[in-house]
Structures are given as C-alpha cells and as structure tokens.
C-alpha cells in the first residue's frame, strides 16, 4: 500500500513518505470562530478526516492538529456590533463547530490549539524574524519583508506583480514593499491586545498558524492542509515566516481541497450564498451530507445541490438495508471486517480517490444483494462496514438510520409508542385477533411507520 498525494509544493503526485517511518504529523487550518460553519467550511474537515483515518491505519503515531482562530478583526467586529463579549462569542462558536463536525462524522483532532493560548509563541517567533533581518518595525506594526526572502512566492508560484495585486494590500505608508505583510499590529483601548516588545497589540492571522504548528509539530512536519483559497496569501506567508524563523524546511506535503460551489461560485460568507451546516443537518442526515461531499474528488470543485444529497441517501439506504438483512440473518449486529477491503485502500491511496472508493462500496453491496441470504450475505455486510468506516460512514445501527427524521417533522408516534404498539399487536396475534393486529399495523402505516415481520421478530422504519 503506497499513498500517493498531490503535493501543492511541487504540483506533482508524489509517494507519501513521512519524516519518521512509523509516525505522521498533519496540520489543517481551522475555523475563525465568530459564526456557524457553512457547508464549504465543512469540506476540509471531512476531506482531512478521511486522510486522518487512513494515516491512523498505517502509522503507529499520528498527530493531527487543527487550530481555532479566536483572534480576528471579524470576531472583534461581531462583538462590537452585537454587544456580546468576545470570549463568549468564540466559546459558543467553537462548541457549535465541534457539534456540527461530529454530526458530519468527523473525528476530533489530536490537538486543537487556540490562537489566544499561543501569543507568547507568536511574539517569540516575530522577535526571531526581526533579529534575523526578515522583519522590521514601523509605527507600532511589525512587517515581514518579502524582499528578504529570495524564494518568497514559491508555494503559489506567483510573479512579483501578481503577489502585489493578489495581496489586496491596503498600501499602508509604513510598508517598505506593498507585498510586505503584517506580523503584529497595534491595538487601541477598545480592541483586544497583549503586551509585546512593540507595544500593546495583536498578531496578524498568518503568524498564528506558523507559531501553533511549530509548538505542536516542530519545525518540519509532514502534511499541511486547508482549502485552496488559503494557498495565497495565508500558506505562502506561513512558509516564508516559518522557514525564515526556524532555518528549516517547513512542510513536506501541501494538500488543498477545492471549493464547494453554488451555481459555480465559491460558497462564502461574503457572497451570502451559504448554507450553514446546522440548517443542512435539519433537512438531511449528517451521514448523507458527508457521503455527498466525498462523492467528488477532493481537488475538484463540488457543486452543492439537493440531487446529490438525495443520491447519497439512496446509497446509504441500500447499504444499511444490506447490513439490516445480514443482522436479521445473524440475530445480532454485524462487526466490520478487521481490514479495509483492498479495493477501497487502493482507491484512497490514489490521492484520496473517494468517488472510486464509493464505487467499491456499491460493488460490495451489489454482490451482497446478489448472494441473497446466508453467510455470504453476512460476509458482504462485514466488508461493506469496514469499507464504510474508512470513509467515516456506516457506524450507525441500521434501525437508527432508517428512523431518522427531519427537524420539525410531523411529530408522529415516538419510538417508545411504536414499540408499545408492536407489543400490543403481537399480543393480539397471539390471541388470534387478527383484525386488531391489522388495525395497529394500518394505523402506524398511516403515520409513516412501516412494520416488517420476520422470523427474528418485527422491525419498523419511518418512511
Ligand atoms: N466554499 C468553500 N469550499 C471549500 N472550502 C472552503 C470554502 N469556504 C471556506 N473553506 C475553507 O474552510 C476553512 C475555514 O476557513 P475560514 O473559517 O477562514 O472560512 P472563511 O474563509 O471565513 O469562509 P468564507 O469564505 O465564507 O468567508 C478553510 O480551510 C477554508 O479554505
Ligand atoms: Zn492557517
């Protein structure tokens, strides 16, 4: 098994060879916490969760770090506008983010550093940059001097003109070069600030990830991920700062996910074309949203629409249906096969080819349905579960899957009420009162609950 990743540093597909043979480290840029995450923000979380699960299967030690940006002028602006204290906004938003990402089937990272907890590390790094001649102080600001770093621009492959245009620079008079970027800026009395050698102020965004990745993973680490929008300027600036401050190569493999789009445009807060994960979860199960996300290769754009979600639900109905059948045959839950099927591993090794992995799952399920019943069916279900787990799906009890209801759905009978009615129907049949038994079944059907009798007993699902 050889994992091949498209490396943004070279623009080529390369075999993944970690720094240490038995360990892998990965840093992914996390959310700026001032509002609910939208589905576009969830894309990197889901994509890198699949990679994390793969790395954990291959290496004894895996360290996945995803930061929380809890210092940002967007957060300050939100606090000023709403009157809610900054710490309350960031704590509440972070908790919501955790809930939403868990509902999409993503594992928590091994470390989740918050920017506010690393100010000392950021100041120390900026001091090193000033000492080494890569940064200068001007009017209470500290700026990175791109002229001091000959290979600046190497990650995004931009020419100097593009760098300047792309930096969307507010051409501040204190900048020596319009492409220089902020490491530290002064704070006024109303703005959060920390004492520093350059006065009370706050860090720029880029230095946060350089300082936190150094603290958590060291000077050089294996994988750095994030959305494609971060390549420039964020990641370009991270490389420049980290390599200049540490005197060592920064990242070995850069991995960037493509955009989630709506009618061809990037889903983003500024365009207002976003759907928050919360609202999407009220209308469709998290597992279906996740499968839909993985049905497109991570580097390609994915257009978010209802048809994709419907197709994902149909696939999951079919897969959970097979597991349910196998469980009826076994009389207990199906355990996943210990190994992920080779076809799925091979697909994921091919630069995380999740659409191909999903095709493998369909193949396993089709074979399972064809063999009908018996041990072959159970074998297919155990394989299907292991294959699903590699993608972060098929962890639920099938009955739970089939009973999912959208938020605010007609409040039909509760699970307990249904169980009680099924018991009453069983008694009626025992008493040979078939009319009463049928009436219970028909009443439940009228409320969207379907009963299925088998040798193992009566199962139910909501339609
Ligand atoms: N439409 C999208 N498709 C894929 N990834 C996205 C999309 N929008 C944001 N991301 C990613 O989400 C992660 C979180 O970024 P961040 O919290 O900065 O969001 P954002 O850039 O503020 O969102 P927005 O673009 O809506 O303002 C980053 O890795 C970013 O690349
Ligand atoms: Zn970052």
Judgement on whether residues 18 and 70 belong to the same structural domain of the protein: yes
Residue 448: inside a domain:
yes
Q: What is the mean pLDDT of residues 163-192?
A: 85
Does residue 258 surpass a pLDDT of 70?
yes
Q: How far is the CA of 37 from the centre of ligand 1 (A)?
A: 9
pLDDT of residue 167: 61
Judgement on whether residues 217 and 331 belong to the same structural domain of the protein: no
Judgement on whether residues 371 and 253 belong to the same structural domain of the protein: no
**What does the pLDDT look like over 199-241, one tens digit per residue?**
999 999 999 999 999 999 999 999 999 999 999 999 999 999 9
Beta carbons of 299 and 256 less than 8 angstroms apart: yes
Q: How far is the CA of 302 from the centre of ligand 2 (A)?
A: 22
Q: How far is the CA of 40 from the centre of ligand 1 (A)?
A: 6
The overall average pLDDT reported for the chain is 95
Beta carbons of 214 and 125 less than 8 angstroms apart: yes
**pTM: predicted TM-score of the whole model, two decimal places:** 0.91
Judgement on whether residues 38 and 117 belong to the same structural domain of the protein: yes
pLDDT of residue 308: 96
Residue 106: inside a domain:
yes
Whose atoms come closest to the Cα of 229: which ligand? 1
Residue 235: inside a domain:
yes
**What does the pLDDT look like over 357-387, one tens digit per residue?**
999 999 999 999 998 788 999 999 999 999 9
Query: Which residue, 402, 433, 454, sits at the end of a domain?
Result: 402
CATH code at position 383: 1.20.120.640
* Percent of the residues in the chain that have a pLDDT greater than 90, as a whole number: 84
pLDDT of residue 166: 64
**What does the pLDDT look like over 231-251, one tens digit per residue?**
999 999 999 999 999 999 999
Judgement on whether residues 256 and 362 belong to the same structural domain of the protein: no
pLDDT of residue 446: 85
Beta carbons of 231 and 256 less than 8 angstroms apart: yes
Ligand 1, atom nearest to 37 Cα: 17
Calpha distance 239→252 (Å, rounded): 11
Does residue 168 surpass a pLDDT of 60?
no
Judgement on whether residues 177 and 325 belong to the same structural domain of the protein: no
Q: What is the mean pLDDT of residues 406-431?
A: 86
Ligand 1, atom nearest to 30 Cα: 14
Take atom 15 of ligand 1 and give the residue whose Cα is closest: 31
Take atom 16 of ligand 1 and give the residue whose Cα is closest: 31
Calpha distance 339→343 (Å, rounded): 11
pLDDT of residue 169: 55
Q: How far is the CA of 411 from the centre of ligand 1 (A)?
A: 36
The ipTM estimated for the assembled molecules is 0.96
Q: How far is the CA of 30 from the centre of ligand 2 (A)?
A: 7
Q: How far is the CA of 204 from the centre of ligand 2 (A)?
A: 11
Angle at 97 between CA 94 and CA 100, to 5 degrees: 155
Query: Which residue, 205, 236, 262, sits at the end of a domain?
Result: 262
Which residues are part of a known binding site for Zn(2+)? Answer: 29, 209, 234, 238
Structure tokens at 13: 């597909």
Q: How far is the CA of 423 from the centre of ligand 2 (A)?
A: 56
Ligand 1, atom nearest to 271 Cα: 26
Beta carbons of 144 and 134 less than 8 angstroms apart: yes
Does residue 298 surpass a pLDDT of 60?
yes
Query: Which residue, 232, 262, 292, sits at the end of a domain?
Result: 262
Whose atoms come closest to the Cα of 224: which ligand? 2
Which residues are part of a known binding site? Answer: 29, 209, 234, 238, 269
Does residue 160 surpass a pLDDT of 90?
no
**What does the pLDDT look like over 104-140, one tens digit per residue?**
999 999 999 999 999 999 999 999 999 999 999 999 9
Structure tokens at 108: 């928590």
Whose atoms come closest to the Cα of 44: which ligand? 1
**By residue range, what is the domain housing residue 357?**
303-402
pLDDT of residue 24: 98
Judgement on whether residues 173 and 216 belong to the same structural domain of the protein: yes
CB crowding 75-84: b at 16 or more within 10 Å, else e:
bbebbeeeee
Number of domains in the chain: 3
Judgement on whether residues 241 and 122 belong to the same structural domain of the protein: yes
Residue 294: inside a domain:
no
CA atoms lying within 13 Å on the CB side of residue 405:
16
Ligand 1, atom nearest to 31 Cα: 17
- Residue from 35, 100, 109, 227 whose mutation best tests the ligand 1 pocket (most atoms within 8 A of CB): 227
Structure tokens at 344: 């799925």
Take atom 2 of ligand 1 and give the residue whose Cα is closest: 40
Calpha distance 313→69 (Å, rounded): 34
CATH code at position 84: 3.40.50.620
Judgement on whether residues 75 and 151 belong to the same structural domain of the protein: yes
Judgement on whether residues 249 and 309 belong to the same structural domain of the protein: no
- Residue from 38, 40, 231, 269 whose mutation best tests the ligand 1 pocket (most atoms within 8 A of CB): 40
Take atom 24 of ligand 1 and give the residue whose Cα is closest: 268
Tell me the CA end-to-end span of the chain in Å, nearest whole number.
42
Take atom 23 of ligand 1 and give the residue whose Cα is closest: 268
Judgement on whether residues 182 and 60 belong to the same structural domain of the protein: yes
Does residue 422 surpass a pLDDT of 60?
yes
Take atom 17 of ligand 1 and give the residue whose Cα is closest: 31
Take atom 28 of ligand 1 and give the residue whose Cα is closest: 227
Judgement on whether residues 327 and 449 belong to the same structural domain of the protein: no
Residue 409: inside a domain:
no
pLDDT of residue 159: 81
Closest CA relative to residue 105, chosen from 34, 147, 48, 35:
48
**What does the pLDDT look like over 431-452, one tens digit per residue?**
898 988 998 998 888 888 899 8
Residues whose beta carbon lies within 6 Å of some atom of ligand 1? 29, 31-32, 40-41, 43-44, 226-227, 229-230, 257, 259-260, 266-270
pLDDT of residue 170: 63
Residue 20: inside a domain:
yes
pLDDT of residue 19: 98
Q: How far is the CA of 67 from the centre of ligand 2 (A)?
A: 8
Calpha distance 155→240 (Å, rounded): 10
């Amino acid at each position: 098994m050889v994992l091949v990743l498209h490396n943004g540093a070279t623009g080529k597909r390369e075999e993944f060879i970690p720094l240490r043979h038995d360990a892998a480290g990965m840093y992914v840029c996390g959310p700026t916490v001032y509002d609910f995450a939208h589905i576009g923000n969830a894309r990197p979380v889901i994509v890198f969760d699949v990679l994390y699960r793969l790395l954990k299967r291959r290496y004894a030690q895996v360290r996945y770090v995803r930061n929380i940006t809890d210092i940002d002028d967007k957060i300050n602006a939100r606090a000023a506008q709403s009157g809610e204290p900054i710490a309350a906004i960031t704590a509440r938003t972070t908790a919501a983010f955790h809930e939403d990402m868990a509902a999409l089937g993503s594992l928590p990272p091994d470390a989740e550093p918050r920017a506010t907890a690393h100010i000392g590390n950021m100041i120390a790094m900026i001091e090193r940059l000033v000492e080494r001649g890569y940064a200068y102080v001007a009017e209470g600001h500290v700026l990175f001097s791109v002229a001091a770093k000959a290979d600046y621009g190497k990650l995004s492959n931009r020419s100097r003109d593009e760098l300047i245009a792309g930096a969307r620079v507010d051409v501040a008079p204190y900048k020596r070069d319009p492409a220089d970027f902020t490491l530290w800026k002064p704070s006024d009395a109303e703005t959060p600030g920390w004492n520093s050698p350059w006065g009370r102020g706050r860090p720029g965004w880029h230095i946060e990830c350089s300082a936190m990745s150094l603290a958590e993973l060291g000077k050089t680490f294996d994988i750095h991920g994030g959305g494609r929008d971060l390549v420039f300027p964020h990641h370009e600036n991270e490389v420049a700062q980290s390599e200049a401050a540490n005197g060592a190569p920064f990242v070995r493999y850069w991995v960037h996910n493509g955009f989630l789009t709506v009618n061809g445009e990037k889903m983003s807060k500024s365009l207002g074309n976003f759907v928050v994960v919360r609202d999407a979860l009220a209308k469709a199960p998290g597992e279906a949203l996740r499968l839909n996300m993985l049905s497109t290769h991570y580097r390609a754009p994915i257009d978010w629409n209802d048809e994709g979600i419907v197709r994902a639900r149909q696939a999951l109905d079919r897969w959970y249906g097979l597991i349910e059948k196998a469980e009826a045959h076994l009389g207990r839950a199906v355990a996943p096969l210990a190994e992920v099927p080779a076809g799925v591993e091979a697909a994921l090794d091919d630069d995380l080819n999740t659409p191909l992995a999903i095709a493998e799952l369909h193949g396993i399920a089709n074979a399972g349905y064809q063999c009908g019943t018996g041990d072959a069916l159970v074998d297919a279900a155990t394989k299907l579960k292991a294959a699903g787990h590699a993608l972060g799906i098929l962890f639920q009890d099938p009955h739970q899957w089939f009973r999912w209801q959208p938020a605010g759905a007609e409040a039909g009978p509760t699970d307990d009420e249904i169980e009680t009615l099924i018991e009453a129907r069983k008694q009626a049949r025992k008493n040979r009162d078939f009319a009463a038994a049928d009436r219970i079944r028909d009443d439940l059907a009228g409320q969207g609950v379907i009963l299925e009798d088998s040798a193992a007993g009566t199962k139910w699902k909501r339609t």
